[in-house]
Amino acid sequence: MNEFARLRKQMIEYQLAARGLDDKTVLDAVGAVPREAFVPTDLVEFAYQDSPLPIAASQTISQPYIVALMTSALELTPEDRVLEVGTGSGYAAAVLAEIVDEVYSIERHKILADTARNRLSELGYKNTHVLHADGTLGWPEQAPFDAIVVAAGGPEVPATLKQQLAIGGRLVIPVGATLHTQKLLRVRRISEHEYQQEDLGGVRFVPLIGAAGWEGEAADIPAAKKAEASLPELIYQSSEHFGFIDHANLDNLLDRIGDSRLVLLGEASHGSAEFYEMRARITQELIEKKGFTVIAVEADWPDANRIDHYIHDTSPDPLLESAPFARFPTWMWANHSVLEFTHWLKSYNEKVASADKQAGFYGLDLYSLGSSIESVLNYLDTVDPETAEVARVRYGCLSPWTSDPGLYGRVAITKQYRECEQDVLDILQGLLKKRLDYSLADGERFFNAEQNARLVASAERYYRTMYYAENNSWNQRDQHMFDTLKSVLAFRGPESKAVIWAHNSHIGDARATQMSARGELNIGQLARQEYGDAAYLIGFGTDHGTVAAASEWGGPMETKQVQPSHIDSYERVCHNVASDNFLLPLRRAQQASPQAMARELLLEERLERAIGVIYRPDTEMQSHYFYASLPNQFDEYIWFDETRAVEPLTRETIKDMPDTFPFGL
């Protein structure tokens, strides 16, 4: 099985079947069509992603799920003759051609019609016919049709297409007054003058242009623009605006957070200063006004432990050789925004006499395989030298791979190297069996060693699994982060409350995004499932500015320009709000209030942007956008229209800092 065939199989499993699409005929047809042949050459790596892709003439090849959904809605039989309006790349026509006798497809853009016709012919689809014409008028010379599918949204169902249906024929078409209020309709012709109509749910398509559709090129027709303008106005009315982060009044936000035990603070990129600074501001208020004592972040445990020692004015393990925050991407935590926050935490803790009321800083992630092994062994050397020697032998299984853990996964999958799972689990279990003896000596040091041992066990499984199925390794990572969070809360006591800093993709409820269709979960989903309304999820967004990011994994940090947001995205809606910065509550509100009406309009899925440590503006639509339902994803959304890149620390910045200073370069 080649790579594209494997990706096609995964697409069917995670994007189609996982969403409940169980029409075997359609699934088999999708499985038979090489989608990579219908996308531009420079985008073939994204051919099986769960999103539309750009093609010529400013059009798109539809999301695979939508193609399959509409094909299934046609209720096709092998003898059917089908009309498709909107050939586009020709992909949907190929799927149809796998099922039915004849496919007639109309495309108003000549370049697309010619390209699709040639491509379908080259792939051996002899039962497809492509015409360059106005699709809203149908193809009367070939009528009647058993089924008609329209791949663009019109203001109403064109009478010309209904009339070209055979008796018993089905027409599937998106219809709506605006691009964001379309419904997918199925129209069934019962008799010469009688039609039956069904609503199949909300969708979003490019506009149907033509004599029986929208007039001219005005897909963003005035009526649509007028209706769309109301949503930014409602957001403006229901949000809280601020100019500068230091001047933002957070009292209402704290009231909305209420007695929540967890507050999850996201970010739309790992390299935007405003996200870090606003999270710091909110966290300070939660610590001072609501007694939060745990800051848990998307960082490795040993690195975060250095910050924890610094803010408590204690010394980290002097035997640890690896420098903290020296692993790619260094700028994610070794930056001036985090530096200022750690200084504040240290100053705060100095004023709090009771240790259990002081703030602690903890890492949730699992990438620190080498330094975590080092930390466990150093701890055991001091409390139980004999056990330390046994642990060295067992960890020796992993020692060749600590500098490049990904290599272990590649070797393990080929079975050229025995799995280390049992060895690392034995060390963790040994620690737990001696929990009482060890913790009596120094409970905090034991807890640190225990978490590092858990991290090594999780990391071994993560790197071994990531080569089998990407979503499984994602789930293992987020489950580890959530389990670590719960361990920290248990260690800090039943009254402890935590602030979590991580990317929106970890913080927002995965069930409200495309992640769910791939079988992926995240911290936000797990937090809601376990804590309910006691978990308050806050996402962040921006339209444009600069960001610190690399072009590839392991590459140098660059200051890049963030592209203005996509026209069909949540970011574009927020950009159109008459305020540069605002807090938008998203939990259910009083009926008929501006907030409730804004929430209702925002519920329908839109594109949302996610920039990690890598940013590729040239392929932004494929690399960084996904579909989500914002009000189901977050309880609150914080918007900065323009953001700037974080400023990384340099050797000059930290050269005069004390030995306990938590950053190393």
Q: What is the DSSP string of 541-568?
A: EEEEEEEEEBSSTTPPPEEEEEPPPPTT
Q: Is residue 62 flagged as an active site residue? A: yes
d(CA 510, CA 537): 12
Averaged pLDDT, 517-521 = 83
pLDDT at site 211: 85
465: nearest Cα among 456, 477, 453: 477
- Taking only the tens place, the pLDDT of each residue in 249-286 is 999 999 999 999 999 999 999 999 999 999 999 999 99
pLDDT at site 457: 66
For residue 241, pLDDT beyond 90: yes
* Percentage of the residues of the chain whose pLDDT score is greater than 90: 56
pLDDT at site 347: 96
How sure is the predictor about 394, in pLDDT bands with cuts at 50, 70 and 90?
A: low
Torsional sign, CA 217, 219, 223, 225: negative
Q: What is the number of other CB atoms lying within 10 angstroms of the CB of residue 306?
A: 23
508: which DSSP letter? S
87: nearest Cα among 109, 71, 68: 109
pLDDT at site 44: 87
How sure is the predictor about 434, in pLDDT bands with cuts at 50, 70 and 90?
A: low
pLDDT at site 475: 85
d(CA 636, CA 278): 13
Question: CA 444 → CA 308, 355, 487, 520, distances in Å?
Answer: 12, 12, 12, 33
Averaged pLDDT, 467-495 = 81
- Taking only the tens place, the pLDDT of each residue in 104-150 is 999 999 989 999 999 999 999 999 999 999 999 999 999 999 999 99
Q: Decide: residue 21, CB within 10 A, 0-12 exposed, 13-18 middle, 19+ buried.
A: middle
Q: Are 301 and 452 in contact (CB under 8 A)?
A: yes
Q: What is the number of other CB atoms lying within 10 angstroms of the CB of residue 128?
A: 23
How sure is the predictor about 439, in pLDDT bands with cuts at 50, 70 and 90?
A: low
Most confident of 368-382, 479-493, 584-598: 479-493
379: nearest Cα among 445, 332, 312, 334: 445
Question: CA 425 → CA 152, 394, 420, 432, distances in Å?
Answer: 55, 10, 9, 11
Exposure string for 336-352, b = 16+ CB within 10 A, e = fewer = bbbbebbebbbeebeee
Range name among 20-34, 312-326, 341-355 with the lowest pLDDT average: 312-326
State how beta strands 535-549 and 262-265 pair: parallel
pLDDT at site 544: 94
Alpha-helix runs per DSSP H in 420-469? 421-433, 435-441, 443-465
pLDDT at site 534: 97
For residue 323, pLDDT beyond 90: no
504: nearest Cα among 515, 489, 496: 515
614: which DSSP letter? B
For residue 410, pLDDT beyond 60: no
7: nearest Cα among 45, 51, 53, 43: 45
Q: Are 103 and 127 in contact (CB under 8 A)?
A: yes
Query: Which of the residues 51, 62, 371, 458 is marked catalytic?
Result: 62
d(CA 364, CA 478): 9
For residue 468, pLDDT beyond 80: no
d(CA 42, CA 62): 17
SS3 510: helix
The predicted model scores a pTM of 0.66
For residue 408, pLDDT beyond 50: no
How sure is the predictor about 638, in pLDDT bands with cuts at 50, 70 and 90?
A: very high
Q: Which two tokens stand for residue 204?
A: 């979003």
pLDDT at site 311: 93
What region does 542 belong to: left with phi over 0, alpha with psi -120 to 50, or beta? beta
Higher pLDDT, 392 or 362: 362
For residue 291, pLDDT beyond 90: yes
Q: Are 73 and 183 in contact (CB under 8 A)?
A: no
pLDDT mean across residues, the chain? 85
pLDDT at site 500: 98
268: nearest Cα among 659, 608, 496: 608
Range name among 143-147, 290-294, 458-462, 504-508 with the lowest pLDDT average: 458-462
State how beta strands 498-501 and 606-609 pair: unpaired
For residue 219, pLDDT beyond 50: no
Higher pLDDT, 415 or 548: 548
Question: Is the peptide bond between 556 and the residue preceding it cis, with omega within 30 degrees of 0?
Answer: no
pLDDT at site 604: 85
What does residue 474 show for φ and ψ, rounded to 5 degrees?
-60, -45
Q: CB under 8 Å to 550, separation ≥6 — which residues?
A: 328, 329, 556, 557, 558, 613, 614, 615
Higher pLDDT, 175 or 395: 175
For residue 367, pLDDT beyond 70: no
Averaged pLDDT, 78-88 = 96
Averaged pLDDT, 163-181 = 87
State how beta strands 145-150 and 165-175 pair: parallel
Averaged pLDDT, 499-516 = 93
Q: CB under 8 Å to 105, separation ≥6 — which residues?
A: 83, 84, 85, 87, 90, 93, 116, 128, 129, 130, 131
pLDDT at site 413: 47
Q: CB under 8 Å to 30, separation ≥6 — which residues?
A: 8, 11, 12, 16, 64, 67, 68, 95
pLDDT at site 198: 94
pLDDT at site 207: 83
pLDDT at site 431: 61
d(CA 652, CA 42): 42
Averaged pLDDT, 392-420 = 51
Q: Which two tokens stand for residue 116?
A: 């699709």
For residue 295, pLDDT beyond 70: yes
Q: Are 151 and 92 in contact (CB under 8 A)?
A: yes
What does residue 614 show for φ and ψ, rounded to 5 degrees?
-115, 135
Q: Which two tokens stand for residue 162?
A: 């209904």
Question: CA 447 → CA 21, 188, 487, distances in Å?
Answer: 47, 66, 9
pLDDT at site 228: 43
d(CA 151, CA 132): 15
What region does 327 belong to: left with phi over 0, alpha with psi -120 to 50, or beta? beta
For residue 470, pLDDT beyond 90: no
d(CA 595, CA 602): 10
How sure is the predictor about 605, in pLDDT bands with cuts at 50, 70 and 90?
A: confident
Amino acid, single-letter form, for residue 198: E
What does residue 166 show for φ and ψ, rounded to 5 degrees?
-70, 160
d(CA 554, CA 579): 37
pLDDT at site 664: 59
Q: Domains in the chain, please, with CATH?
A: 64-219 (3.40.50.150), 229-241+250-268+497-515+528-643 (3.40.1660.10)
pLDDT at site 411: 46
Averaged pLDDT, 27-41 = 94
d(CA 7, CA 129): 29
For residue 220, pLDDT beyond 50: no
Range name among 203-217, 220-234, 605-619 with the lowest pLDDT average: 220-234
Question: Is the peptide bond between 302 and the residue preceding it cis, with omega within 30 degrees of 0?
Answer: no
Alpha-carbon 393 to chain mean position: 40
618: which DSSP letter? G
pLDDT at site 645: 97
Alpha-helix runs per DSSP H in 105-154? 110-122
d(CA 363, CA 404): 20
Range name among 330-344, 377-391, 567-581, 622-636 with the lowest pLDDT average: 377-391
Q: Are 423 and 461 in contact (CB under 8 A)?
A: no
SS3 524: helix
pLDDT at site 382: 72
How sure is the predictor about 240, in pLDDT bands with cuts at 50, 70 and 90?
A: very high
